[in-house]
Structure 1
Amino acid sequence: MLGSGLSSQVGASVAALAFPVLGPLGVVAVRQWVAAVVLVGFGRPRVRAFTAAQWRPVLALAVVFATMNLALYTAIDRIGLGLAVTLEFLGPLTVALAGSRRRTDLACAVVAAGAVLVLIRPRPSTDYPGIGLALLAAVCWGCYILLNRTVGQRLPGLEGSAAAAAVSGLLYLPVGAVVLWLHPPTAAALLCALAAGVLSSAVPFLADLLALRRVPAHFFGIFMSVNPVYAALVGLLVLGQRPDPASWLAIGVIVAANTVAAGTAAPLSAGRGRTP
């Protein structure tokens, strides 16, 4: 589980290295293609047998895939890896807390909200569009968890997720082709984009499958809380992005709130929330 989270964040930092050449859109297109190949290879969806009731959540999930990763990568380009991933993590935290009336969950929500206010506090360098994109990614992540649950109920195995990844990859074909035509990739940039797809999609996907055979889903959800910390550390070491002390504290508070919420959540509210 720790290796999965580290691979995902290292992949995001490697993707950022390709932004000057390909831009976030070009990198996301390559990542979506890698994710589609990996998931279709493992899920083997029988799309011709899908009914309309099965296609509806699959298509919605595909749109969420496409929007979520583009919003996150553009946010990373604008506000840095640690802040973008921490704000995105509000998505699964909100899903974990939604509908709960327990005092512990209410306290987690209040504490997390205070930490977010610290992260987005006005400063001369504050990039509000970048913050907005990270919050859009958070909304998409929450929708991903709910839609993935619906898809899992209507389709067996990984067929639904694989079909959604394939549709998302197809959506990026014309856009990605134009971006690569207008901005011819260097060998290094293309390698970084492909590595991001492998590290942020293929490796976590396989690692998660192995982990979930050994640990309960809610315990897996608790370990997901390490991702914002990984993101801040990897952003510091790989990209030279340095959060100030208040931001480090806020990141720690959000991680703690998510850990408590996930650790005390009912089994039905636990969602994996892995972003392909």
Structure 2
Amino acid sequence: MDVPPRMGTARNRAFLGAGLVIVSCLSVQASAALASTLFDRLGAPAVAGLRQLCAAFVLMVLVRPRVRGRTRREWAGLVVYGAAMAVMNVAFYCAVGLLPLGVAATLLFLGPFVVAVASARGWREALLPAAGLAGVVLVAKPVGTVEGAGIASGLLSAVALACYTVFAQHVGRASPGLEGLTLSVCISAMLLLPFSLPAAPGVNASGWGLVAVSGVVGVALAFTLDFQAVKMAGAKVVATLFSLDPVMGALVGAFALAEGLSAPVLVGMGLIVSAGAVATWRAQILQVPQAPTVTHRQGTY
């Protein structure tokens, strides 16, 4: 059977978006390893804020977004997107400090899981994020003592990641190129100034190097890839693909730290990869550009 041209193009965009999410997950894992070395000295919220500042500076220099002439609705979307970034980073790092990493990672994925299920068109599509969630549980191995504050932080990070996924699509429609992303990262950095500014004087030269690399790789690059992936594949597909993050963590641990991959972990990785692959393959109706009926300045997918 011949594939309609629009469907074929949409599917190609979905696969390209999936590739961007994979690189984003690798960027997040690599930057997290760098940033974690500063947690004990500066604290997770301060490190998150300093990373956002570095990323905002880099993006502002490269993108130079338009600030004037935006509607209140545009600014509302930018603020929510930026706030989601700030809350997601701080809440997840706090959850990791209070919970076993597997529990924190599983709670975090509940956010995109809800987004993917809510946007599913039938029970078959809902099975894909469910398989991804089951895979996350197997890979992350959520065992150990849990604390109420840690669970609350983990659930807050999940809500923030869900908003981050949805508003990446909203902001992408309202702003051309990377302008919306850049402004949202700046808003996120400003919201975290109460944490980053007091810590800045205590950062030495090597610490600033780690913060800069972590900010560029784990925020500027990773968020840009996520942003473009949502524009190409849609929030539903990307929400399912976010389950690849713990897979990347397991692979990094296996190859860089010689950590073994148990049978449950391998099964979980298989579930996640399969769910992501099927979700990408089934992507047919995506956010593709349509001919505008009136002249406007808003970007489209």
Query: How big is the shift at 1:101?
Result: 3.9
Alpha-carbon distance between aligned partners in 1 of 2:265 and 2:149, rounded to the nearest angstrom: 18
Alpha-carbon distance between aligned partners in 2 of 1:148 and 1:207, rounded to the nearest angstrom: 11
Alpha-carbon distance between aligned partners in 2 of 1:206 and 1:123, rounded to the nearest angstrom: 33
> What are the within-5 Å matches in structure 2 for residues 220-231 of structure 1?
221=238, 225-231=243-249
Query: How big is the shift at 1:242?
Result: 8.2
Moved more, 237-246 or 27-36: 237-246
Is the counterpart of residue 185 in structure 1 residue 203 in structure 2? yes
1:273 equivalent in structure 2: none
1:143 equivalent in structure 2: 163
Count of residues in Structure 1 that have an aligned counterpart in Structure 2: 265
2:39 equivalent in structure 1: 19
Q: 1:68 aligns with which of 88, 105, 109?
A: 88
Alpha-carbon distance between aligned partners in 2 of 1:79 and 1:239, rounded to the nearest angstrom: 22
SS at the partner of 2:245?
Answer: helix
Query: How big is the shift at 1:31?
Result: 0.9
SS at the partner of 2:124?
Answer: helix
> What are the within-5 Å matches in structure 2 for residues 154-173 of structure 1?
154-173=174-193
2:216 equivalent in structure 1: 198
> What are the within-5 Å matches in structure 2 for residues 79-98 of structure 1?
79=99, 84-98=104-118
Is the counterpart of residue 260 in structure 1 residue 284 in structure 2? no
Moved more, 25-34 or 139-148: 139-148
**Structure with the larger helix share:** 1
Is the counterpart of residue 217 in structure 1 residue 237 in structure 2? no
Alpha-carbon distance between aligned partners in 1 of 2:253 and 2:140, rounded to the nearest angstrom: 18
Contact 1:96 1:262 in 2 (8 A): no
Query: How big is the shift at 1:83?
Result: 5.3
Deviations 1:75-114 (A, max 9, x none): 3344465654454334333322214242322333544555
Alpha-carbon distance between aligned partners in 2 of 1:122 and 1:3, rounded to the nearest angstrom: 25
Alpha-carbon distance between aligned partners in 2 of 1:103 and 1:28, rounded to the nearest angstrom: 38
Percent of counterpart pairs with the same letter?
Answer: 33
Deviations 1:40-84 (A, max 9, x none): 233322212222222111111121111111112223344465654
Alpha-carbon distance between aligned partners in 2 of 1:263 and 1:128, rounded to the nearest angstrom: 39
Moved more, 129-138 or 239-248: 239-248
> Please, what is the CA RMSD of the aligned residues?
3.8
| Residue 120 to residue 179, structure 1, CA distance change in 2 (3 Å) | same
Moved more, 66-75 or 244-253: 244-253
Q: 1:8 aligns with which of 24, 28, 47?
A: 28
TM-score (structure 2 length as normaliser): 0.70
| Residue 14 to residue 34, structure 1, CA distance change in 2 (3 Å) | same
Contact 2:110 2:158 in 1 (8 A): yes
1:274 equivalent in structure 2: none
Query: How big is the shift at 1:200?
Result: 0.6
Is the counterpart of residue 33 in structure 1 residue 49 in structure 2? no
Moved more, 17-26 or 149-158: 149-158
2:68 equivalent in structure 1: 48
Instruction: Kindly provide the amino acid, as one letter, of the partner of residue 70 in structure 2.
Output: F
Q: Which runs of 5+ in 2 are unaligned?
A: 1-18, 289-301
Alpha-carbon distance between aligned partners in 2 of 1:257 and 1:93, rounded to the nearest angstrom: 12
Alpha-carbon distance between aligned partners in 2 of 1:188 and 1:240, rounded to the nearest angstrom: 27
Alpha-carbon distance between aligned partners in 1 of 2:123 and 2:144, rounded to the nearest angstrom: 37
| Residue 83 to residue 21, structure 1, CA distance change in 2 (3 Å) | same
Contact 2:35 2:210 in 1 (8 A): yes
